[in-house]
C-alpha cells in the first residue's frame, strides 16, 4: 500500500517510478511551466510528465534544475509526437527533447499516440535509445491491446508503461488486465475527468474521509495500481492532489467508484484520431 508521496512502483526492468506525478499538458512555456514544476517539487512531487507536443520542455527542464533537488531524485517523462514518428525521425526528435530539457538521461520515453504504419518503427528507435542508455525506461501512450500486441510481437522489449486516459468513467478493464498480465504499468492521464467530478458517490465517500472528490479519485487510481499524474498550476491544488496518502478506500468503495464506468472518453479515441 502506498503510504507516502515519494513511494514508487517498480517497472518491469527494475526502475522505480513514483505513483503520483505532475502532468503539465497546456502549461505554457512563458515562465508558467518553470514555476509550476518548481512549486510541485517543493510540495514533494518527484515525477514530472511532459511531452514534445506540450511545447514546454524548456520550462520543465528549468524548473527541475532550479528546484535545488538532485536530478537523479526527479523522474522525468517525455513523449515522441506523431509528426516525428518513424525510426530516424524519432532519434532526431529525442535529441531535440533532451536539448530542451537539458538533461542527459530521460527516465521514461513514450510514443505519444499509435500512428498507423509508424509506431512499430518508432518503438524500434525507443529500444535503441534504451539499449544505448539515453533513457532508463520506454513505453507507450494511448495504445489499445492490439497496438500493444504489435510492438510486443515485433520488438525486443515489452513496453514498461502504457499511459492512457483512465478515470471512473473510463476504467478500461480489459486493457488494464492485459497490462497487468504483460507486466506493463498502467498510467492515467486526465485522471480528474477534466474537472467533471460532480458525482454523488465521490462526494459521499469524500465526506466520510474529509477529502475532496478529486482526492478520492486519485486515491482510487493508486489502489487500482495505476500511476497517476494530475495537472495543476496552482500550488495549493498541487498540495491537495498529493494529500491522498493518509486514508484508504475500502473494497466496497473501490467497487462503487468503478461502477461509474460509462466507457466515456474526454479525449480522442486511440483507434480513430487524425493528428
Q: Which residues are catalytic?
A: 54
- Residue keyed to cell 491537495: 240
> Residue 251's closest CA among 229, 224, 272?
224
Read off φ and ψ for residue 150, nearest 5 degrees.
-60, -50
CA angle, 66 then 72 then 73, to 5°: 75
Read off φ and ψ for residue 274, nearest 5 degrees.
-135, 45
**Three-state DSSP class for 167?**
strand
**Three-state DSSP class for 108?**
strand
For 47, other C-beta atoms within 10 Å of its C-beta total 25
Locate all alpha helices (DSSP H) within the chain, ordered by sequence. 32-42, 57-65, 87-101, 119-131, 145-154, 173-181, 200-209, 213-223, 235-242, 251-258
Is the Cα dihedral 43, 46, 51, 55 positive or negative? positive
CA distance 119 to 89: 12
- Cell numbers linked to 115: 500512428
Residues in the chain: 275
Amino acid at each position: 500500500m502506498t503510504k507516502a508521496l515519494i513511494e514508487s512502483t517498480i517497472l518491469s526492468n527494475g526502475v522505480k517510478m513514483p505513483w503520483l506525478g505532475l502532468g503539465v499538458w497546456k502549461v505554457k512555456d512563458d515562465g508558467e511551466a518553470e514555476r509550476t514544476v518548481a512549486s510541485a517539487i517543493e510540495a514533494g512531487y518527484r515525477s514530472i510528465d511532459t511531452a514534445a507536443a506540450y511545447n514546454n520542455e524548456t520550462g520543465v527542464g528549468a524548473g527541475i534544475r532550479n528546484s535545488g533537488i538532485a536530478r537523479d531524485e526527479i523522474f522525468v517523462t517525455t513523449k515522441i509526437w506523431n509528426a516525428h514518428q518513424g525510426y530516424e525521425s524519432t532519434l532526431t526528435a529525442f535529441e531535440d527533447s533532451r536539448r530542451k530539457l537539458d538533461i542527459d538521461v530521460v527516465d521514461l520515453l513514450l510514443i505519444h499516440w499509435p500512428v498507423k504504419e509508424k509506431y512499430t518503427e518508432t518503438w524500434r528507435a525507443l529500444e535503441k535509445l534504451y539499449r544505448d542508455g539515453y533513457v532508463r525506461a520506454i513505453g507507450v501512450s494511448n495504445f489499445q491491446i492490439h497496438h500493444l500486441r504489435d510492438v510486443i510481437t515485433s520488438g525486443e522489449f515489452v513496453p514498461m508503461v502504457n499511459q492512457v486516459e483512465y478515470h471512473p468513467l473510463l476504467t478500461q478493464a480489459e486493457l488494464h488486465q492485459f497490462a497487468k498480465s504483460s507486466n506493463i504499468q498502467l498510467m492515467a492521464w486526465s485522471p480528474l475527468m477534466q474537472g467533471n467530478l460532480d458525482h454523488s458517490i465521490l462526494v459521499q465517500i469524500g465526506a466520510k474521509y474529509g477529502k475532496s472528490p478529486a482526492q478520492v479519485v486519485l486515491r482510487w487510481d493508486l489502489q487500482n495500481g495505476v500511476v497517476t499524474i494530475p495537472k495543476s498550476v496552482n500550488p495549493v491544488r498541487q498540495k491537495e492532489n498529493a494529500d491522498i496518502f493518509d486514508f484508504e478506500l475500502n473494497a466496497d468503495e473501490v467497487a462503487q467508484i468503478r461502477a461509474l464506468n460509462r466507457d466515456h472518453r474526454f479525449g480522442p479515441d486511440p483507434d480513430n484520431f487524425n493528428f
